[in-house]
Chains A and B, each alone.
Chain A
């Protein structure tokens, strides 16, 4: 019939036009819904600022009480070492009971106790400095311990240099931290931030908007047109892919210019890896929304299977090497893990192909699998 011929002039360009039209439609919707702007743009910016300026694992200015029970010059000199250290905010006390009170009220996180007979023991060769830390935050406590030992060590070294009789260790550790010489935790937090932003836009937003179409019944009328499922999916994927790239650029610009984090590898490798991850995230979002068809369930499932794992199990915050074997085995199916590996390497180490190639390959396979799967399970059917 006449109408049929007119409706399909050239199959390929018709397909392209349909996809383009769906992309435009989706873009209008993104721009007009305050909540998708909130999650797609505002939240990434908040996260960038928080990660850049707020969060840090570096422990500085730890409040400690230095209990000086020995008035000898040696002891006073040692106490002064704590007061001068940039890591501590030392309060000099003379009574241990007062220090305990402060610790109980959590006004100090640690107590350095120099006993009354310190100087005498020092001359005998076995002086002791007692360091008590508040152990509830174990990580912080351990860092405090290391700093405190360091402060004592410096004092010893100084004395040795002055020729006073103090034996340093026969073996001296000279450590170097590659890639992050300044030991700045932003160096590894910001790559993690990129993972969070990409997951947020890729999986959470996509899962919600696709589920919304099922819930509001907008797909029912759309389905009864020449549109194909792959076109509907592409129409969803492309705008959120673009939004993800905007998020990525924001993060990169912030990393480079606000936080002065080096990008030692090439930006193109970074972009390529991010695109692969974004595709996986989008695929997961589409899969979840098609499987649940409800915004509430989709959001819950997305948070559980994509967002929290990206946060907790990807190795950006908690090192994979700390995890028990079972959990580590679970992380091998999480895309975020591979993305974090690529990001940390490209940001801080450079284009190390030995890391990039295998991780990118896994991401590419995952992207192919989830996108194909979402293509297969999304059907133009209501029953």
Chain B
């Protein structure tokens, strides 16, 4: 009995506030836009009995999904989200790996402090960290003042409200997610393996390439997924740092819902985004499982 309560309370909570809402999104994505409150049709009418339910299901269709393929705004937004997420994941890896490597090679007594320095930005408000870049990247911002003063450029660069700013924003905010799993993998790495490789005639670079990188593979994979998955559906970064030309699906969904008030299309956009995300999520899950098995 006690066990039943223990299971039932969180179970029912998640059913009611996670699964049911998602079923509603799915249902509305199959409905049509209507000028009414709520702004979609059909609505389920139980008072009409079975006849009402049957006519409700008869009116559901895939029109919104067909619409997504017809208007090139949507598939362009999906493609550009994918490419922005991929490119920024790659840059984050390139920036994050040397930091994680340096942390793992740092003296033992520094490591807790370095760890805390990586985690601290993660606890700081996401919105504030994105906002901090607005002041740096604007045309009279800190970066342009510096570049002008040094004399690298003659007139201020336009960085804010471009895709470049979006890349910088994603790399900056998700960097701790990349550093931590790679650091965890490198920290566990047995240093004598590298020594053995060097004794056997590997140069330091070859030893790094043939021993260190393959042995930190799980950390790299985990870090990449932890950056890629949230970056794909990102809303705050493209809307604050990106410009009118920055197309990302999270932003499209938001505008579809709040500006156009087209709930069925917004729901269809959400369903497709989730279908795209299923692939990396499943791969990520598998990587984590493999790692857990390897640890045992």
Pairing of A with B:
no
Question: Chain A interface (Cβ within 8 Å of chain B)?
Answer: none
Binding site for A on B (CB under 8 A): none
